[in-house]
Structure 1
Amino acid sequence: NNSYWIYRLNRLLSSCQSKNGENLFSSSMTLNSTMKKLFDSKQYKEALNLFDQNFKISTDSTIDMAIKACTISKDYKRGIRIQQRLSSQSRNNSYIQAALLCFYLESKDIDNAMHLFSSITNKSNYMYTVMFKGLITNKMAEKVLDLFDEMKIEPDHFTLSTLFNACAVLNNNRAMKIGKKLLAEMPENYRNDNITSTAAIDMLMKFGDVESAERIFRSMKTKNIITYGAM
């Protein structure tokens, strides 16, 4: 059970700890495996201590876990220290970039989030979705539309749902114009996606366009409690 695994992990950590405080892990694979077990058992502080002691043999996968552990445990200072130690190769790893974006946004460090986002040359829809959600959470939905105006790729259904959410939050002339245009141009296969359609319904209801919202609602093949709540 979970308690047994935690006990085993703590024994393993104790056995790997030398007297001078430096760990004896010789394999990146072993470090990754142990970090993952600690992460999965929500022992974030222990995972980060282990990471700090073995940074030299950490892989991008280990770094990704460490940044996520900082985000979850709200350890801002440690997250910044990790970011400062990253190699240029790790800085260009898309998973690490996404993890850092989440970290900054959860920490309400919008300046660093924006700086990092602007430095990413190949932005994926996942990157945009992370950024958009973080900005909405930080009450900066207008900035979502600014970034959307600069977007060079077509939004997928996750990004589109987040854009609908931003438009619903803003509920102003600009948001109405963009939101309705996005909805009109939305690919047909996205209309069968429950999350996207529900976000569109919520947006239209916020706009006061009940008729259009009802039309989408009736066309949905499957509905859940969130869909009914949006209506």
Structure 2
Amino acid sequence: MPEKVLDLFDQMNIQPDQVVFNTLFSACARVANDRAKEIGRKLLHQMPKQFHNDIVLLNSAIDMLMKFGDVENAENFFQTMKKNIITYGAMMKGYVENNMNDKALDLFEQMPLNPNNVIHIIVFNACAQILNGRGEEIGRKLLHQIPKHFHNDNVLLTSAIDMLMKFGDVQSAEKLFRTIKKKML
């Protein structure tokens, strides 16, 4: 009930701590209406300087800004902060949600970290949406590099199947489908 979170925040008369900021950023991102945007941006400006080193909090702020369609400010946060795999995922997912799939792939190619299963899914989705030679090349390359321990991740495999189908590669998609041991209902 993110609206209720915002209602409760309006009644608060104490300075929020990092946990409260994170909760509020998440609520604002989920609501993403004018009120939530106003509260979220106000919170960002009021956030104490010592919180600017909290990577979890900043990842939440990036997610919120991307949900608002405020890509420029999300990019500004991203450029100035220490990054982890979640930071890259938040940016790439935000680019995909804002129909900026090329930027998601650019960031993926620049990422100095090994991709986790979530990054794989985001990149497969970007490749499936972009539907050009670059997207197909990146998607196929990433699919062939999937670590063995990801072969049991049905969400990741389903995302790869979707990507292959959008490429028109039914044969590869069917082959991958057959490798899924436990089909979900």
Aligned to 1:109: 70
1:97 is the counterpart of 2:58:
yes
Distance 2:10 2:142 in 1: 46
Distance 2:107 2:57 in 1: 21
Distance 1:41 1:81 in 2: 17
TM-score with structure 1 setting the length = 0.74
- CA deviation profile, 1:167-187 (whole Å, cap 9, x unmatched): 000110001111111011110
Q: Which amino acid aligns with 2:7?
A: E
Conserved 8 A contact 1:44-1:73: no
Task: Give the alignment of 1:1-231 within 5 angstroms.
Answer: 42-51=3-12, 53-55=13-15, 58-74=16-32, 75-121=36-82, 123-225=83-185
- CA deviation profile, 1:182-202 (whole Å, cap 9, x unmatched): 011110111111011111111
Distance 1:184 1:73 in 2: 38
Q: Which amino acid aligns with 1:193?
A: D
Q: Which amino acid aligns with 1:102?
A: D
Distance 2:183 2:122 in 1: 19
Using the TM superposition, give the Cα deviation of residue 61 of structure 1 relative to its aligned residue in structure 2, in angstroms.
0.7
Using the TM superposition, give the Cα deviation of residue 46 of structure 1 relative to its aligned residue in structure 2, in angstroms.
2.2
Using the TM superposition, give the Cα deviation of residue 205 of structure 1 relative to its aligned residue in structure 2, in angstroms.
0.9
Q: Which structure 1 residue ranges, 5 or more long, are not aligned?
A: 1-39, 226-231
Conserved 8 A contact 1:48-1:69: no
Closer, same or farther in 2 for the Cα pair 1:178/1:41, shift >3 Å?
Answer: closer
Of the two, which has the highest radius of gyration?
1
Distance 2:126 2:142 in 1: 12
CA RMSD of aligned residues (A): 1.6
Conserved 8 A contact 1:47-1:66: no
Q: Which amino acid aligns with 2:40?
A: G
Q: Which amino acid aligns with 1:210?
A: V
Distance 2:2 2:62 in 1: 24
Using the TM superposition, give the Cα deviation of residue 47 of structure 1 relative to its aligned residue in structure 2, in angstroms.
2.0
Percent identical = 32
Count of aligned positions: 182
Distance 1:165 1:69 in 2: 25
Using the TM superposition, give the Cα deviation of residue 41 of structure 1 relative to its aligned residue in structure 2, in angstroms.
7.8
Q: Which structure 2 residue ranges, 5 or more long, are not aligned?
A: none
